[in-house]
Amino acid sequence: MASSCSCNSGNFKAASFHPNKPLAPTPSHLLPTSKPSQLASLSLRLNQNPSQTHFRKSKAVPGLQVVASGQKGEPLRVMISGAPASGKGTQCELITKKYNLVHIAAGDLLRAEVAAGTENGKRAKEFMEMGKLVPNEIVVMMVKERLSQQDSQENGWLLDGYPRSESQATALKKFGFVPDIFILLEVPEEILVERVVGRRLDPVTGKIYHLTYSPPETEEIAARLTQRFDDTEEKVKLRLLTHNSNVESVLSLYEDQIVKVDGTLPKEEVFSQIDSVLTELLAKKGAAFGSLAA
């Protein structure tokens, strides 16, 4: 992830653990029948024909809120992944705004612990400073607890920056948390450093800015922007090393759910691709639910 955005991610400290039983895996009949290659080619096809994109989206939108709110169909369960500064947090802002999913960003949960000065936070900060993964004994239960809460189960979830290792992915599967879709943002390394160094966060709204690509709207906002403690060129290179050494093992566990998206495009265009795929997926889930209920 991410942002310092609390959005729907909530504050881990404030969140009490609900002893809900873990989510059951999505039944196979509710999973998208399209193979990832079909979903990927779907987004490619839509991009090649903007008018078609518009038509398909506007057709699908009317039923969207009902399905996304969990009143009718199964809620969406989405993972978003990519290298540091590939745009995960930025896209999560846009996805949650439209789809009302509960945004759970591992980085945000950890930064909340750091800010609260807890023992876990102090320990986590040492690893974050080094650009390394925070140990599983801190992060695995933190994310599991947030995923288990009622809002995540009812509205669906958007898991940002998690899992980042094979062991985290395996633990999630064991707990029964299986995504409908795994979005991978692809951005070459040379672009990532510039994005990190120029990133700024609004502590009031949680919104993510970039001094060049997404500057603040007003001088008042500009004056209050902050920078993350790990947003230096040196630290992002360390984070990249960690990412590169783990990414393949994670991807291999989600082969059937991966949709790759070109993260170098302007953020609105990246979102448009994601939006097309999510809309299609929701329609499928809604249709599957409808046919069951009939």
- The catalytic residue positions are 88, 164, 199, 228, 239
What does the block give as tokens for 142? 């933190």
Q: Is 182 helix (H, G, I), strand (E, B) or coil?
A: strand
If binding is defined by CB under 6 A, does position 134 make contact with ligand AP5? yes
If binding is defined by CB under 6 A, does position 88 make contact with ligand AP5? yes
CB of 37 to ligand AP5, least distance (A): 24
Residue 47 or 69: the one with the smaller Cβ distance to ligand AP5 is: 47
Residue 71 or 227: the one with the smaller Cβ distance to ligand AP5 is: 227
CB of 294 to ligand AP5, least distance (A): 40
Q: Tell me, what DSSP letter sits at residue 140?
A: H
CB of 78 to ligand AP5, least distance (A): 15
If binding is defined by CB under 6 A, does position 87 make contact with ligand AP5? yes
**CA quadruple 279, 285, 288, 290: dihedral sign:** negative
For ligand AP5, which residue of 270, 278, 281, 288 counts as binding (CB under 6 A)?
Answer: 270
- Picking from 214, 2, 229, 224, the residue whose alpha carbon sits closest to that of residue 106 is 2
Give helix 119-129 / helix 136-148 axis angle, nearest 10°. 120
Q: Is 264 helix (H, G, I), strand (E, B) or coil?
A: coil
What does the block give as tokens for 137? 């004994």
Question: According to CB under 6 A, which residues from 148 to 207 bind ligand AP5?
Answer: 161-162, 164, 168, 195, 198-199
Q: What is the contact mask toward ligand AP5 in residues 99 to 128, using x (rule: CB under 6 A)?
A: -------xx--x----------------xx
Q: Tell me, what DSSP letter sits at residue 42?
A: H
The Cα–Cα gap between 104 and 9 comes to 5
Degrees, nearest 5: CA angle 71-53-33: 55
Question: According to CB under 6 A, which residues from 232 to 261 bind ligand AP5?
Answer: 239
If binding is defined by CB under 6 A, does position 12 make contact with ligand AP5? no
Is the CB of residue 128 less than 8 Å from the CB of residue 110? yes
Residue 107 or 156: the one with the smaller Cβ distance to ligand AP5 is: 107
**Neighbour tally for 26: CB within 10 Å:** 19
Contact residues for ligand AP5, defined by CB under 6 A: 1-3, 82, 84-90, 106-107, 110, 127-128, 131-134, 139, 161-162, 164, 168, 195, 198-199, 208-210, 213-214, 239, 263, 265-267, 270
